Amino acid sequence: MFENKSELEKKIERCVMRVEKPARYIGGELNAVKKPAEQVSLRVAFGFPDLYEIGMSNLGLQILYKVLNDIPDVQCERVYAPDVDFEAIMREEGIPLYTLETKRAVKEADIFAVSVGYEMLVTNMLNMIVLAGMSVWAAERTEEDPFIIIGGPCTYNPEPMAEFADAFSIGEGEEVWPEIMEKLREWKASGAPKIEFLKSLCGIEGMYVPRFYEFDYNEDGTIREIRKTYDKAPDRIDKRIIQDMDSAPFPTEPVVPFISTVHDRAVVEIFRGCTRGCRFCQAGMIYRPVRERSPEKIREIVEEELRATGYEELSILSLSTGDYSRVEELVTDLMALCRESDVSMSLPSLRLDSFSFKVMDEIQGYKKSGLTFAVEAGSQRLRNVINKDITEEHIYAASRQAFELGWHTIKLYFMAGLPGETDEDLAGIADIARNIMNIYKEVNGKIGRLSIHVSVSNFVPKPHTPFQWFPQDTDEEFSRKHELVKNLIKPMKCVRLSYHDSATSYLEGVLARGDRRMCGTLVEAVRLGCKFDGWREHFDFDKWMQAFRNTGLDPDFYARRAREYDEILPWDLIGTGVDKEFYRSENEKAKRGEITKDCREGCQFCGVNTLFKC
């Protein structure tokens, strides 16, 4: 299309000045890596299927950007989904999807890697492949096209994307990607056809090559059998994890954006995994076991990152910061470091005990932001069902202490549509808000500045959880439950209610538990104009329903159907380390309202310790 790269770059420079945020598309940021062309033999275009501001806040992409660019002959470059204004110009001017670092067309890379962290991003991914000038169907791409490798949390059920990907990377990528690069280097030197590279990937733990597996179906639409078509493909693809977090690579010189992003600050990951075992939570299951960084290593990372970026705020990252085994020592040290560096600090997910309030009071001072309680369910009975280890006594005691120390804002997170839920459980949401309001009145004498925000999300059954067999509520039932809570909360003027869109939650449930037959529906949805489906202003439910009708699939089959334990599930090929029998046991305990103790109180024998260190 262009005589040389400079022509493409010149065209980009002319066109970006016509869009709302040109800085999304120009590259050249602080710490971006651009290697001399003569040093590079392997090129990876690493894509994130959302806007620049979202993708630049994704730590996983920053980690793999470092991992790949630390290999001397590899150039890893970033690619984000263009917003609708720039996409229209790209199509009008014939500009292909390109990388930020060198302004090369993605189609010129050896590998187009895409991280998919949320089901509703899949249409963006497909749209990016189209903008790159390639077929979305792996079987139709040529020997000259780059390999497409998909990673991220959604690959724990890769089947709705199976016919788009040449391969999937399952689990954590720090050790996998150097191995992929070695296989790629060997393959390029051999001059063999692309299929040989894909066969070689089968020898890497955590790599799933979908073309080497076929699915047969029963008359009722369930899976009858999964068959291998290549004998050296693994029977099950076990996720990859990093065992030692202290030795794991971390981006102490992350790329610093020119414009504000969702998380515009320095970030340090202190540990991975969770021990709590909430039965609805996919992250708590797939990221097992817990692996911590030492406080000494964390401080070292923070010092280097602040020095290399100039950020004025630090945030520590994990699924539950308060569960870090040396949290008081760590937080005290980091607070002192931040004071020395004139850097502010944010601390999500602390346990609301006396130490945490002391820390938050010191960090927030007179300008106290809101406290957050992820209560999830309105009754203790239902919290036992979902294995959520938070009691109302804990909530009320923490609320009282917060009000006495000067807090005025509290956020409460709940879910609707949980297995075993009753209207009494939903009424409990309003009861908790009312009781917190009364505690505030006791402490302050009047309602005054109190603000309680109640957020209700919709339960979505996810793969690799004890609730993966449960059906999802209908839109009508979600709406009824939202209205019930709304009417109970309405008399409390200091309480604000928000709830998630049921149509989006429904599609999330459909895609989360979909199978390979859904690939055609996804392509049809993109053809009809679906993209940025995670954004309310772009989401078009009617187009999605039309896509299902046009392709003859019933979305209720995936979202609103209960499964039997002996049913073969589309994601059974993927191993998280947690036994399916453990999920069954937890499902049965949920039906009986029995809790399972935190793993830190003793091994619960989920199976992960047979594959990985616990």
Mean pLDDT by 10 residues, the chain (614 residues): 67 93 96 96 98 96 98 98 97 97 97 97 98 98 98 98 98 98 98 98 98 98 97 97 96 95 93 95 96 97 96 92 90 92 82 74 68 92 95 91 90 96 98 97 94 97 98 97 97 96 96 98 98 94 98 98 97 96 97 94 89 67
**Alpha carbon distances (Å) from 37 to 34, 101, 182, 191, 202:** 9, 12, 19, 21, 30
pLDDT for 347: 77
Do the beta carbons of residue 456 and residue 421 sit within 8 Å? Answer: no
> How far, in Å, CA of 277 to CA of 465, rounded?
9
Residues near 516 by beta carbon (within 8 Å), at least 6 away in sequence:
159, 160, 162, 163, 210, 215, 570
Residues near 10 by beta carbon (within 8 Å), at least 6 away in sequence:
none
The secondary structure of the chain in percent helix, strand, coil, rounded to multiples of 5, reads 45, 15, 40
pLDDT for 155: 98
Burial string for 85-102 (b: 16+ CB within 10 Å, else e) reads ebbebbeeeebbbbbbbb
92 Cα distance to chain centroid: 33
3-state DSSP call for residue 141? coil
> How far, in Å, CA of 39 to CA of 138, rounded?
30
**CATH 3.90.230.10 is held by the domain 5-238:** no
Do the beta carbons of residue 176 and residue 169 sit within 8 Å? Answer: yes
Report angle CA 260, 263, 269 to the nearest 5 degrees. Answer: 145
The pTM of the full predicted model, rounded to 2 decimals, is: 0.95
Class of residue 194 by CB neighbours under 10 A (exposed 0-12, middle 13-18, buried 19+): middle
pLDDT for 321: 87
- In this chain, the answer to whether the domains covering 5-238 and 265-364+577-614 adopt an identical fold is no
Domain boundaries, the chain: 5-238, 265-364+577-614
Give the fold, CATH level 3, of 265-364+577-614: Transcription Regulator spoIIAA (3.30.750)
3-state DSSP call for residue 151? strand
pLDDT for 609: 85
pLDDT for 346: 82
Do the beta carbons of residue 164 and residue 148 sit within 8 Å? Answer: yes
Do the beta carbons of residue 76 and residue 9 sit within 8 Å? Answer: no
Strands 313-317, 42-48: pairing kind = unpaired
Could you give the residue ranges of the DSSP H alpha helices within 36-111? 52-55, 59-69, 84-93
> How far, in Å, CA of 557 to CA of 513, rounded?
10
Do the beta carbons of residue 272 and residue 291 sit within 8 Å? Answer: yes
Q: What is the DSSP secondary structure assignment for residue 38, as one 8-state letter?
A: G
